Amino acid sequence: MMYPVGEESERVRIGTAEREEAMDLLSKQFSAGRLTPDEFSERSAAIAAAVTRADLAPIFADLPAKPDGSSTIERARDWRAYVMAFVPLIALAFTMLVPHGWLAWLALPVVGVILYGLRR
């Protein structure tokens, strides 16, 4: 079986999965504030009526490819989160191994303030 390439791939019919994916992307663009409610309704109707990939292209032509500049999937997790995850484990070890080790639990809020500062 031959798969269409180039311009032919734009004429390929789409299914429910592609329409749902397009709706998810459009919803993210809407929640990011790039579309008005009326534009969202119009474009949602166009996605529902789309038959080929070429029908979807104009719907997203004036929108960025990725709805949010910093995708949580693509960016690495903040190193401070890893430090905060290990602090309770270290405090637990101190509690079991060192006399008066329970004082290590006081490090939790101190480390949090040092890493993240006081947020208001």
pLDDT at 43: 92
What's CA 86's distance to the chain center, in Å? 25
Position 11 pLDDT exceeds 90: no
Cα 11 to Cα 64: distance, rounded to the nearest angstrom: 23
pLDDT: which is higher, 53 or 104: 53
> Which pLDDT score is estimated for 48?
93
pLDDT at 81 > cutoff 50: yes
pLDDT at 6 over 80: no
Q: Which of 28, 90, 37, 102 is nearest to 65 (CA)?
A: 28
CA distance 104 to 96: 11
This prediction's pTM: 0.51
pLDDT in tens, 15-65: 999 999 999 999 998 888 889 999 999 999 999 999 998 998 899 898 887
Q: Give whole-number Cα distances, 111 to 80, 95, 99, 107, 116, in Å.
A: 10, 17, 21, 6, 8
Q: CA–CA separation, 114 vs 54, rounded Å? A: 52
Q: Greater confidence, 72 or 111?
A: 111
Task: Please name which of 56, 53, 61, 16 lies closest in space to residue 34, comparing C-alpha atoms.
Answer: 61
When pLDDT is cut at 50, 70 and 90, the band that residue 77 belongs to is low
